[in-house]
Structure 1
Amino acid sequence: MHLLVRKRLVALLLPMLLPVLGLLVAAVWLGYSVAAQIAAYPGQPPHWGDVLVAALPALVMLLLLAAMAHLAARNALAPWITLAQSVQARSPKDLGQIAIAPEDPMEVRTMAEALNRLFARAHAERNAQQRFIADAAHQLRTPLAALQSQVEAWALMAHAAPEKTIHLPAQQVDQLRQASRRTTQLANQLLALSRVDSRLGQGEAAQRVDLKSLCETLLESFLDSALEKGLDLGLEAESAHVSGHEWLLRELISNLLDNAIKYTPAGGQVTLRCGKHVGDERQVRAYVEVEDDGPGVPVGEYTRLTQRFYRVPGAQAEGTGLGLAIAEEIAQEHGAALYFGKGANEAGMKVQLLFGE
């Protein structure tokens, strides 16, 4: 790479070499002519007319060579100036590709291609953000409309009642509570996804993360919800460390545990594991695994589980379809991958997060 840069630099400066050398020769000739005229009349004031006549060829050469040097520099920098003007004239919303001419120098084409790649990524991120906003608005519209219609109906009933009060059955109150919980969960998941997207783009420095300690902390935080549902929540942890962002990995594992607890029926079992996995080629890789003995997911649905807002048809538990999408983005940021499979005895679901080397 350094050799290529040196070659291109030499190719850029070579056309200017002759004018620069000519300028040096003309300057030396001019100085020599002036000194010779002064030496010809020692002790007397120099005849500046003779000096000017002797130096005139050198002055003309200086002017010509200066013009040649200017033209050479202008021709060498012209493609860069054109590229800079093209970028500067763009609107902030214009992420179209920069036109690249075959006759442009290699270094200019390389810079233009790098800018085009940057524009392409920015365009893809903008489209993804627009899709996210549209999807979020669509997902929030349904539960909010249900809440509003229910509350409006109760308000009309209350105003129509003689005492301006009504008595609500416990079933309707439970339905309202479930709808509000789902709306709150969806809003929290959307905020989490937005936070993950924004923080991943900032390029924070990775740190050493202790997976065993992280899993132990998460087990304690999910223990109450598992006991409330009558689940056996266990931990099988071995020492393992990875390079990454602890708060992001906490979000990822939390989503996996939340899904397992949510979809596993009462009396079931959920196990959180972490440690080191030895691959077929004797490669040692850290992993985190969540396994349950719930209803599981058909194998044909595995490839769609990480799509935003996607929910498996027939799923009984309430969900937003964002948990695994968030987990997938965090996994990719850490050079890891999510793998889905059957649990023990071909029952339930097992989700494994396998890190790179």
Structure 2
Amino acid sequence: MKMTHSLRGRLLWFLLAAISITALAQASIAYRTALRDADQIFDYHMQQMALTLRSGAPITNQYEYGTDPGARNDELVVQVWTPDGVQVFRTLSRARLPQRAVLGFSNVEANGTTYRVFSVQTNSQTVQVAQDLAVRRNMASNLALRTAGPILVMVPILMLVVWWVVSGSLQPVARARAQVAARQADDLSPVSEAGLPDEVRPLVQELNLLFSRVKTAFDAQQHFVADAAHELRTPLAALKLQAKSLERADTPEARALAVERLTSGIERATRLVEQLLVLARQEANDANVAAEPVNLAELARRTVGDMAGMAAARNIDLGLDRADDVRVPGHPDALTIMVRNLVENAIKYTPEGGTIDIEVRSAGEGAELVVQDSGPGIPVEERERVFDRFYRIAGSAAGGSGLGLAIIKSIAVRHNAALTLSRSDKLGGLQATVTFPAKAS
């Protein structure tokens, strides 16, 4: 028989089987105990009758007790003999027992059946009390059945109660399953936890948390797709116009200018797509990936080395002003992107001949990464909005997609770090500070 995977089916199967087995075992024990107790009671009754007859005066001149043939006693047979073997008393019965007695209890075969016999002897007489074992067993069985009968009668009632309790207890689970089964694919509303058992409620709570995370991811994806489509529309339209300008150019100078503008437009579109891919990759990254200790100082040194050529092309002094040996728990690839974007933004907005300083320092239980430049900075009223995707400060001379700080913010949040923008007291431009709450052990 194949075991069902239904929780309700398994509970009912095991509980009903346990009730049946227990009831049968209890009824069997009660039946056997009642039979044994009945035998002991009958033996005691025979013994007391024999002892009572022994204590009386000698019985004489009575061969049979009673004169009515219909008043025969087939349950107990009593015989009394004198010391010389003369039977002086016998109950009226069809049974004819042997004219001999074994003192105490014994079983005697007679008249095609077996008798349970108890004999006792005194100086004046021998008393023998016998009982047909078939009659005894019939009486004992009736008594045992009356003892075990209520147990067997209660089993179906108990099974119905168990069936009702299990079915009722699992009804909220069936209701939750029906809620999930009836909803549409885009319905991520929470499943009701009303009436759920304590063992099932955590599962539904985790399911609701999963729905919430999926809904957040869907909303972010929809916003991302909408924003990306909006932002890509402008550079693609510009590329189309520049291609037509190249087609209409009739002089080498005009053709060279159109090619230059087309190449610049392609570079901007490529940069925008790269930034979009980086942002999408960061948002899709599994937050459950185990973090590892990352050396911030080493990461800053590597970034300075990678970006030195870009800074030198604009005559910008890029340097690592301080590098404490601190490690933070995180994802190396994501933190590399964050530091690189911070330095790249600083290079982009710092005028030629400016300065960019990077600092990695220990801060109590945590750590700080500071990137400051001598550029124009960001007005106070714009410092929160620049974290929005595709937002660019009006009148900014530097081009860009408006995704750099959004990517940096996203990575910082994933690492439980705080990103703040302020004015650099040292260089007069923008100071970006990433504060990590704890260092890796």
Q: 2:393 corresponds to which residue? A: 312
Q: Does 1:229 align with 2:278?
A: no
Once the two structures are superposed, the pairs formed by residues 90-239 of structure 1 within 5 Å of their partners are 90-101=183-194, 111-155=203-247, 157=248, 168-199=254-285, 201-236=286-321, 237-239=323-325
**Conserved 8 A contact 1:19-1:68:** no
Q: 2:357 corresponds to which residue? A: 271
1:325 counterpart (388, 403, 406): 406
CA deviation map 1:91-146 (0-9, x unaligned) = 33221232454x55566566544433432332122111101001001101111111
Q: 1:353 corresponds to which residue? A: 434
**Conserved 8 A contact 1:79-1:108:** no
Q: 1:255 corresponds to which residue? A: 341
Cα distance in 2, alignment partners of residues 188 and 197 from structure 1: 14
Higher strand proportion: 2
Q: 1:243 corresponds to which residue? A: 329
**Conserved 8 A contact 1:26-1:58:** yes
**Conserved 8 A contact 1:293-1:344:** no
Q: Does 1:62 align with 2:158?
A: no
Q: What is the DSSP-based 3-state SS (H/G/I as helix, E as strand, rest coil) of the residue aligned with 2:431?
A: strand
Q: 1:32 corresponds to which residue? A: 29
Higher helix proportion: 1
Cα distance in 2, alignment partners of residues 346 and 214 from structure 1: 23
Q: What is the DSSP-based 3-state SS (H/G/I as helix, E as strand, rest coil) of the residue aligned with 1:354?
A: strand
- The AA in structure 2 aligned to 1:235 is L
Q: What is the DSSP-based 3-state SS (H/G/I as helix, E as strand, rest coil) of the residue aligned with 2:383?
A: helix
Q: 2:83 corresponds to which residue? A: none
CA deviation map 1:220-274 (0-9, x unaligned) = 1000000011111111222111011011000001110110000111100111111
> Unpaired segments of 5 or more residues in structure 1?
1-12, 278-282
Cα distance in 2, alignment partners of residues 174 and 348 from structure 1: 32
**Conserved 8 A contact 2:294-2:331:** yes
Distance 1:154 1:25, change over 3 A: closer
- Larger displacement relative to structure 2 (124-133 or 345-354): 345-354
Normalised by the length of structure 2, the TM-score is 0.66
Q: 1:71 corresponds to which residue? A: 164
Cα distance in 2, alignment partners of residues 233 and 29 from structure 1: 90
- Larger displacement relative to structure 2 (86-95 or 24-33): 24-33
Shift of 1:345: 4.8
- The AA in structure 2 aligned to 1:286 is A
Shift of 1:72: 1.3
Q: What is the DSSP-based 3-state SS (H/G/I as helix, E as strand, rest coil) of the residue aligned with 1:290?
A: strand
Greater gyration radius: 2
Shift of 1:176: 1.7
**Conserved 8 A contact 1:231-1:268:** yes
**Conserved 8 A contact 2:173-2:196:** no
Q: 1:3 corresponds to which residue? A: none
Q: Does 1:296 align with 2:381?
A: no
Shift of 1:343: 1.5
**Conserved 8 A contact 1:293-1:349:** yes
Cα distance in 1, alignment partners of residues 255 and 350 from structure 2: 29
Q: 2:93 corresponds to which residue? A: none
Aligned length in residues: 325
